[in-house]
Amino acid sequence: MSILVDADTTFIVQGITGREAINLTRECLDYGSGAKIVGGVTPGRKGRNVHGVPVHDTIADCVEAHGKPIDGSVVTVPPAFTKDAVFEAIENDIKLIVVVTERIPRRDVAQMVELAALRGARIIGPNCLGIIVPDVIKMGGIGGPARNAAQAYTPGPIGVISRSGGMTTEMSSTLSAAGLGQSTAISIGGDAIIGSTYAELMPLFDADEQTEGIVIYTEPGGRMEAELAAWVTETGCRMPIVAFMAGRFMDEMPGMSFGHAGTIVEGKEDTATEKIARLADAGITVAEEISEIPELMQSKLQAGSTA
């Protein structure tokens, strides 16, 4: 099985007539068993279609045309309109919202996340590439065109969670080349506040029988790794976790932000060094290089099965 999405997941694309959204829609339709994109929204563009997907003015129209509740939405509207778009999705009973847009002010993100929590919805992102279940479905730009995504992602036992969209593909490709496929790979976004953190996704992977190990990509900034380390320590996680930490050089440059908005280092607990120590304390192996990840995972999986 997978987490969050499967072959039957229906979703819409908000901002579907934008240049990148048109590409993303094509990619998702082409991938795996073909995503069930039941509609798109761009206000004022009702009646058009994008690669055969009907465009509506409102989500309410999408739901009405579909005739039953819609599972998810990919939000690709500009930063100033994202909060409104996400509120519209939540209030129309959509339960899984992937926010692709970057450079959204933190307060707007926090508002979306709080409303989602009140309504029992989940947000992935913002500033992310979405979710992929190898050979089945992708929701978002993750992995790019179907042909490229198929080159990097293969089905298997590893759950991948990454703060970088590009590195989700790099790590999955490295795992695939070593014979370790992925159950679900999720680009969670690079911002300081995001809808779903490592620790918030871990229970889903924990409950998924297919998933036997977790690989994460992480960066300096924020407390998300401390939260994961605490979750692992408290629950005694059944699966081995291997992490890769990029941006170690930033420890020498406090106050500077590289890579993603979330990486600005504000306190000691945010630094790469501090995070690596925390993860290691919780029994999470931190790889020095991406290429070491498959071997580290293999040996941990073997140690687990003989124990």
Partner 1 sequence: MRFFEYEAREIVKRSGIPVTDFGFTTDAAEARTIAERIGGSTVIKSQVLTGGRMKAGGVKFADTPEEAQAHAADILELEINGQMPRGVLVDPKADVKQEYYAGVVWDGTAKKPVILFSDMGGIDIEDVAREHPAHVGRVHLSNILPLSDYQAKECIAQTGVTGKALQRLTPIVRKLAQLFVDNDMVLAEINPLAEMHDGSFIALDAHMDMESEARGRHKQLLKDLGVGDDETRMAREPTEFELAGEAVDNASHRGVAGNVTEFDGNIGLVIGAGGGSLTLFDAVRAHGGKPANYCEIGGNPSVEKACGLAKLVLQKPGVDKIAVMMSIVSNTRVDIVARGVIKACLELDMDPAEKIAIFRIPGAWEEEGFKILEKYGIEYADRSVSMHEAARRAVAKIAGPEAVTT
* 79 counts as binding partner 1 under rule CB under 8 A: yes
* 288 counts as binding partner 1 under rule CB under 8 A: yes
Residue 228 C-beta: closest distance to partner 1, Å: 11
* 133 counts as binding partner 1 under rule CB under 8 A: no
* ∠ Cα 105 106 112 (to 5°): 100
* 119 counts as binding partner 1 under rule CB under 8 A: no
Please state, in angstroms and rounded to a whole number, the distance separating the CA atoms of residues 255 and 278: 22
Q: Catalytic positions, please?
A: 260
Pairing of strands 53-56, 49-50: antiparallel
CB atoms within 10 A of CB 256: 10
Q: How many residues bind partner 1 (CB under 8 A)?
A: 66
* 222 counts as binding partner 1 under rule CB under 8 A: yes
Interacting stretch for partner 1, rule CB under 8 A, among 64-72, 93-101, 114-122, 297-305? 114-122
* 295 counts as binding partner 1 under rule CB under 8 A: no
Contacting partner 1 within 228-257 (CB under 8 A) = 244, 246-250, 253-257
DSSP H or E stretch at residue 245:
strand 241-245
CA atoms within 13 A on the CB side of 266: 8
Pairing of strands 72-75, 96-99: parallel
Q: CA dihedral defined by 34, 38, 43, 49, rounded to 10 degrees?
A: 60
* 149 counts as binding partner 1 under rule CB under 8 A: yes
Residue 80 C-beta: closest distance to partner 1, Å: 8
* 111 counts as binding partner 1 under rule CB under 8 A: yes
> What value does the CA radius of gyration of the chain take, rounded to a whole number of Å?
19
Cβ partners under 8 Å of residue 246, min gap 6? 164, 167, 217, 218, 219, 259
* 267 counts as binding partner 1 under rule CB under 8 A: yes
**Residue written as token pair 């129309």:** 92
On whether the CB atoms of residues 162 and 35 are closer than 8 A, the answer is no
Residue 223 C-beta: closest distance to partner 1, Å: 5
Residue with smaller CB distance to partner 1, 64 or 281:
281
Task: Please give the residue ranges that form the binding site for partner 1 (CB under 8 A).
Answer: 20, 23, 79, 103-107, 109-111, 113-115, 118, 141-145, 148-149, 152, 162-167, 169-170, 173-174, 177, 190, 192-193, 197, 217, 219, 222-224, 226-227, 244, 246-250, 253-261, 263, 267, 288-291
